[in-house]
């Protein structure tokens, strides 16, 4: 159990006993090295209620905590601040309880569905998808660790005009070539034709404009765009030739996506396809009309008026009877709750879709779905690079595979420069470069609060010092090296007096499950990332502030305790990194 939480509980009981005051929570701060005591209790909030000076209150609370609990070894009062020193045995007992409870997860008896990735099949995954995938996957891992059952899902946008653009460009300019023949990864292969379409389309527009047509009209009249629109219509009508080409090109893309997902280390329990879900939601339209939640205009189109909720009027069915994205999302949400025993659904989608999800949730609520208040949009900021934004149509996107390869190459160069892997086999070296490179990428992405826009700098992310993945992985490797050198085997020890650095480390280790719960509640991997960084800094202070290295200690009891503490720290680092989808290496 969290040490600070225990002190809060005991303090609340003492305040009730001494002053008959309920639900009083005083601020408890961890002391820095220069102050005597482990914690400081701020007494000023009681001054007004008790009409006493803070020094008197601090003394009374110190005496009561000493008499009524087994916590305090001593206390002192400085200007109304109550500094308390916790009994040594309290830290030892907490350390033992962390070891005993390390793998125990208290089940919440609730299932959460997390949607992430959800790409289009007309282009490969890019830098923005990396943040989305890492964020969604990490949130799923954190929720599991917090005791929830989790269903990881994605919906692939595999239909629409953008898909037809890639298909048409391949049909016109591809000369029957395949990814296998060209040795180009399937999703990149199809993405190249999406770019090709845009290039040829712009040329057609320019030609029409040069003939005296306005640009706006030229965009509509360009032969390529008309052909793409006809292909979409043919697809919707089930044209055999178009469907066959669509299936083949999508299969190339899915193979490419899966290679990217595997290298990135993310996976899914369920996959849905927009080609199957785009007709969902139409049956909800009649239900909404019957309940007077929706209304129909004279042209036959169906709308939802959300102006009283501070939103706008939202189209749900066009006058020709075709649905819009919102209709599909309504139907998909209903189906997900119908087909799965879930209590919450989280959409991991960029913040440019904030308004869309406000409308979606509000309509579902108006339609009477009780679970509508359990829908959550995990909105995150866009990723930018030092040289600006990305554009898919122009082929200026930072490709996910290229970025992962760049991180691998950078990790390889850094490791060779440091010269610490010479003793490893080539296979072990390769695995290390991959783990460190991708760990750098993932940690840099996830240490930033999801809501914030971020600037990704590959060079900065791979540094072996500071708040980076490699720095944390290096500390883990250092502990593994120490344990191997000491030929470590866990043995329980007693009669140990813990110093300041050991206390700080034990406190952080006891905080692990509290931080996991907070991260699960906030849906923020950044809380885990910053916790690991604090833990690693604390361990390094502990390690560097010893007059005698651990392996050279003559006191076997103390040596064993410090090795036990090191091992538990390493296990906590590894488990925490795992929540971010980051691996560890034993040597760096």
Do 256 and 215 lie in one domain? The reply is yes
| Average pLDDT of the segment spanning 403-410 | 92
Asked if residue 94 belongs to a domain, the reply is no
CB 554 within 8 A of CB 490: no
Asked if residue 518 belongs to a domain, the reply is yes
Do 361 and 416 lie in one domain? The reply is no
CB 584 within 8 A of CB 476: yes
Do 300 and 156 lie in one domain? The reply is yes
> Residues 13-47, buried b or exposed e (16+ Cβ, 10 A)?
ebbeebbeeeeeebebeebeeeeebbbbbebeebe
Do 364 and 432 lie in one domain? The reply is no
- Domain CATH for 53: 3.30.1360.70
3-state secondary structure of 272: strand
CA dist 465 and 503 (Å) reads 25
User: Which pLDDT score, from 0 to 100, does residue 137 have?
Assistant: 98
Domain boundary among the residues 52, 86, 120 is at 86
Do 573 and 542 lie in one domain? The reply is yes
In this structure, the strands spanning 270-273 and 149-156 are parallel
Asked if residue 149 belongs to a domain, the reply is yes
Do 339 and 468 lie in one domain? The reply is no
Reported as a single tens digit per residue, the pLDDT across 236-280 is 899 999 999 999 999 999 999 999 999 999 999 999 999 988 888
- What pTM was estimated for this model as a whole? 0.91
Report which DSSP code applies to 320: T
User: Which pLDDT score, from 0 to 100, does residue 31 have?
Assistant: 80
User: Which pLDDT score, from 0 to 100, does residue 32 have?
Assistant: 67
- Domain CATH for 193: 3.40.50.620
DSSP 57-119: HHHHHHHHHHHH-S-EEEEEEETTEEEEEE-HHHHHHHHHHHHHHTT-----S-EEEEE----
Token pair for residue 178?
A: 């395949």
User: Which pLDDT score, from 0 to 100, does residue 441 have?
Assistant: 95
Do 422 and 568 lie in one domain? The reply is yes
Q: Say how many domains are in the chain.
A: 3
Reported as a single tens digit per residue, the pLDDT across 506-530 is 999 999 999 999 999 999 999 999 9
3-state secondary structure of 324: coil
CB 78 within 8 A of CB 34: no
Asked if residue 187 belongs to a domain, the reply is yes
Do 510 and 557 lie in one domain? The reply is yes
- Domain CATH for 521: 1.10.730.10
| Average pLDDT of the segment spanning 69-98 | 91
Look at residue 390 and tell me whether its pLDDT is greater than 50.
no
Asked if residue 588 belongs to a domain, the reply is no
Asked if residue 399 belongs to a domain, the reply is no
Percent composition of the chain: helix, strand, coil (DSSP 3-state, to 5): 60, 10, 30
User: Which pLDDT score, from 0 to 100, does residue 109 have?
Assistant: 93
Residues in CB range of 260: below 8 A, 6 or more apart: 124, 125, 187, 400, 401, 404
Do 348 and 424 lie in one domain? The reply is no
Which helix (DSSP H) or strand (DSSP E) does residue 349 occupy? strand 344-350
Query: What is the residue-averaged pLDDT of the chain?
Result: 92
User: Structural domain of residue 566, as residue ranges?
Assistant: 406-579
Reported as a single tens digit per residue, the pLDDT across 122-150 is 989 999 899 999 999 999 999 999 999 99
Do 445 and 489 lie in one domain? The reply is yes
| Average pLDDT of the segment spanning 196-201 | 96
| Average pLDDT of the segment spanning 402-417 | 90
Do 559 and 478 lie in one domain? The reply is yes
Asked if residue 328 belongs to a domain, the reply is yes
Domain boundary among the residues 71, 86, 101 is at 86
Do 377 and 412 lie in one domain? The reply is no
Domain boundary among the residues 352, 384, 416 is at 384
| Band (1; pLDDT cuts 50, 70, 90) | low
Look at residue 425 and tell me whether its pLDDT is greater than 60.
yes
Quote the percentage of the chain above a pLDDT of 70.
Answer: 97
Report which DSSP code applies to 351: G
Residues in CB range of 230: below 8 A, 6 or more apart: none
Asked if residue 499 belongs to a domain, the reply is yes
Look at residue 329 and tell me whether its pLDDT is greater than 80.
yes
| Average pLDDT of the segment spanning 8-36 | 85
């Amino acid at each position: 159990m969290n040490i600070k939480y225990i002190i809060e509980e005991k303090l609340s009981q003492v305040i009730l006993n001494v002053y008959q005051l309920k639900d009083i929570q005083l601020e408890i701060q961890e002391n820095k090295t220069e102050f005597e005591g482990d914690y400081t209790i701020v007494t000023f909030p009681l001054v007004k209620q008790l009409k006493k000076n803070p020094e008197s209150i601090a003394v009374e609370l110190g005496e009561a905590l000493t008499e009524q609990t087994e916590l305090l070894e001593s206390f002192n009062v400085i200007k109304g601040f109550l500094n308390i020193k916790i009994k040594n045995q309290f830290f030892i007992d907490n350390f033992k309880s962390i070891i005993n409870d390390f793998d125990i997860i208290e089940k919440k008896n609730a299932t959460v569905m997390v949607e992430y990735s959800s790409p289009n099949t007309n282009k490969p995954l890019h830098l923005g998808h990396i943040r989305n995938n890492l964020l969604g996957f990490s949130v799923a891992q954190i929720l599991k660790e917090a005791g929830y059952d989790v269903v990881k899902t994605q919906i692939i946008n595999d239909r629409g005009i953008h898909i037809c653009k890639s298909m048409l460009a391949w049909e016109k300019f591809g000369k029957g070539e395949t990814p296998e023949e060209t040795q180009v990864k399937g999703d990149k292969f199809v993405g190249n034709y999406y770019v090709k379409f845009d290039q040829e389309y712009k040329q057609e527009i320019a030609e029409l404009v040069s003939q005296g047509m306005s640009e706006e009209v030229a965009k509509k009249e360009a032969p390529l765009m008309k052909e793409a629109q006809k292909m979409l219509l043919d697809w919707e009508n089930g044209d055999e030739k178009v469907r066959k080409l669509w299936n083949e090109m999508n299969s190339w893309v899915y193979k490419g996506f899966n290679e990217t997902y595997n290298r990135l280390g993310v996976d899914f329990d369920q996959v849905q396809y927009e080609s199957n879900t785009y007709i969902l939601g139409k049956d909800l339209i009649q239900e909404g009309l019957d309940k007077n939640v929706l209304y129909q205009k004279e042209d036959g189109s169906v709308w939802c008026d959300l102006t009283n909720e501070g939103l706008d009027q939202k189209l749900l069915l066009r006058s020709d009877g075709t649905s819009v994205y919102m209709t599909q999302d309504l139907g998909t949400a209903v189906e997900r709750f119908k087909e799965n025993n879930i209590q919450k659904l989280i959409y991991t989608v960029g913040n440019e879709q904030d308004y869309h999800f406000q409308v979606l949730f509000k309509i579902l609520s108006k339609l009477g779905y009780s679970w509508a208040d359990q829908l959550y949009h995990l909105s995150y900021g866009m990723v930018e690079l030092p040289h600006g934004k990305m554009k898919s149509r122009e082929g200026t996107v930072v490709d996910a595979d290229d970025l992962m390869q760049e991180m691998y190459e950078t990790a390889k160069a850094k490791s060779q420069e440091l010269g610490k892997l010479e003793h490893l086999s080539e296979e072990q070296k390769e695995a290390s470069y991959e783990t460190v490179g991708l760990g750098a990428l993932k940690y840099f992405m996830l240490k930033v609060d999801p809501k914030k826009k971020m600037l990704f700098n590959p060079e900065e992310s791979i540094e072996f010092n500071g708040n980076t993945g490699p720095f944390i992985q290096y500390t883990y490797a250092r502990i593994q090296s120490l344990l191997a050198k000491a030929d470590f085997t866990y043995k329980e020890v007693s009669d140990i007096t813990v110093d300041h650095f050991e206390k700080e480390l034990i406190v952080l280790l006891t905080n692990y499950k509290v931080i996991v719960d907070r991260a699960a509640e906030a849906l923020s991997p950044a809380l885990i990332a910053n916790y690991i960084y604090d833990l690693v800094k604390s361990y390094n202070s502990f390690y560097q502030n010893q007059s005698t290295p651990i392996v050279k200690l003559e006191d076997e009891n103390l040596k064993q305790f410090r090795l036990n503490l090191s091992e538990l720290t390493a296990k906590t680092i590894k488990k925490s990194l795992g929540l971010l989808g980051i691996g560890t290496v034993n040597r760096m």
